[in-house]
Amino acid sequence: MPKIKYLIIAGPIGVGKSTLTQRLAAEGFQPLFEEPDINPYLADFYADQSRAFETQLAFLGHRLQQCRRVADLLAAGQRVVQDRSMAEDSYIFTRHHYQQGLISERDYQTYQTLYQGLADFVPKADLIVYLSAPVPVLQDRIRERGRDYEQEIAADYLQDLNGLYTQWAQACRQTRQPFVELPTAGSRHPEEIAQQVLALLQPEARRVLRSA
């Protein structure tokens, strides 16, 4: 069975995606991080959620640049691990903002037209690993990493995102793309989660995933 060359680490804010991505870099994967700090609208959005549309457009542009980088790395024979996917931006965050009235119908349809036009050109991951955790765990981890603009994120917002992630995970399981959910609430040390993911990369585990 061929090696997994392109791995996506998915999951909500604070679940541990970046930590796991960095750990997998030590196993030979080229890491691509979400880098929320480069989004010029993000801090404004957390202070004033009417900036949701601009924030999501900026993330879409950044994610497209990352996908081009993924294609280049794969063409060069590299293995890639990516912190969050472009699909999450669309199905989780943009959809949430639309449902909450923070993005208008017109702007939402414009975003989806752009997303659908780009999605066909995005490399397909060999495996999506979805890290999940309940809201209190996410809040603890957000506090621990100490990003100032994240400290006021409401529990209701995290709960809404978790609900959308559950729906997205159900949809992913209905496709042929290998997908696995790893609950992380009981794994306080990042190495525990890393070892679970490394086990999934073994040929025997991949056969099970493909037949599920």
Q: Which residues are catalytic?
A: 83
How far lies 18's CA from each of 62, 105, 116, 191, in Å?
16, 32, 26, 13
What is the CB neighbour count within 10 angstroms for residue 30? 17
DSSP secondary structure letter of residue 50: G
Token code pair at residue 190? 């990042």
Q: Which residues contact 8 (CB under 8 A, 6 or more apart)?
A: 81, 82, 84, 85, 125, 127, 128, 129
Spatial distance between the Cα atoms of 81 and 21, rounded to a whole number of angstroms: 6
DSSP assignment of 118-152 equals HHTTSPPPSEEEEEE--HHHHHHHHHHHT-GGGTT
Decide: helix, strand or coil at residue 80: strand
DSSP assignment of 151-194 equals TT--HHHHHHHHHHHHHHHHHHHTSSS-EEEEE-TT--SHHHHH
